[in-house]
Amino acid sequence: MGVFKIDWALADRIPFRSESAGKAGTIHLGGSYQEMAASEKAAWFGKHSEKPAVILAQQSIIDPQRAPVGQQTGWAYCHVPSGSTKDMTEAIEKQVERFAPGFRERILARHTMNTKVMEELNSNYIGGDIGGGANLLSQLFTRPALRSAPYRSSVRGIYLCSASTPPGGGVHGMCGYHAAKRALRDEFGIII
């Protein structure tokens, strides 16, 4: 699957009904488990969901330097069929509004990217796939190749920490965490 992504400049925090959602750096939006699963299944089988499962990040609530004083930033994406050029702005923003009434009133500017733009920005994102391919059980420990230290590249001091390393995409931050542990071990003998 590919992704359709939106970046926002916001006048204020996203007004989530849930207090804990308003404090979270990353949120998965989509209602019930069944609704989110149906959205993912639709994209996998080449269809677009009217109520997509949305991954949303509010980076400026954690790092205020990412936005001008008094304003906020955010981004979100949903899965779409590989190579899709459909504009999912309305569907994504409708989902955010569903859980954060008044969200749209806070949008100062937006930038969108469909799967074609994603692939133009990074040729590894074939069809707009930011995960580096299907997360199959067979790839869980064999990304990018079967070896004892998958984060180490062939060049000393250069390490891989993308979704193309274990445990793969969708496990936010863990690829970088494990790559950093490997780098500390190799370069300084520090074992964490």
User: How much is the pLDDT for 137?
Assistant: 78
pLDDT recorded at residue 12: 97
Give the domain range for residue 188: 131-192
Give, in order, the Cα–Cα distances in Å from 41 to each of 30, 79, 100.
13, 10, 25
What are the pLDDT digits (tens) for 78-110?
999 999 999 999 999 999 999 999 999 999 999
From 128, 152, 177, the end of a domain falls on 128
**HSE-CB of 118 using CA atoms within 13 angstroms:** 28
The reported pLDDT for the residue numbered 92 is: 98
Judge contact between 166 and 138, C-beta under 8 A.
Answer: no
Are 50 and 139 in the same domain? no
Residues 82 and 27 in one domain: yes
**Same structural domain for residues 71 and 35?**
yes
The predicted structure's pLDDT at residue 20: 95
Task: Pick the closest to residue 164 from 119, 115, 125 (CA basis).
Answer: 125
pTM: 0.84
Residues 6 and 86 in one domain: yes
Residue that is last in its domain, among 112, 128, 144: 128
Residues of the chain with pLDDT under 50: none
pLDDT digits 0-9 by tens, 149-161: 999 998 999 999 8
Name the domain count of the chain: 2
Sign of the dihedral through C-alpha 83, 107, 93, 75: positive
Q: 144 and 114 in one domain?
A: no
Domain containing 55 — which CATH number?
Answer: 3.30.519
Distance of CA 121 to the CA centre of its chain: 15
Domain check: are 118 and 141 in the same one?
A: no
- 65 and 142 in a single domain? The answer is no
Q: What is the pLDDT of residue 140?
A: 74
Q: Is 103 helix (H, G, I), strand (E, B) or coil?
A: coil
Q: Within this chain, do residues 137 and 117 fall inside the same structural domain, yes or no?
A: no
Q: Return the pLDDT at 162.
A: 84
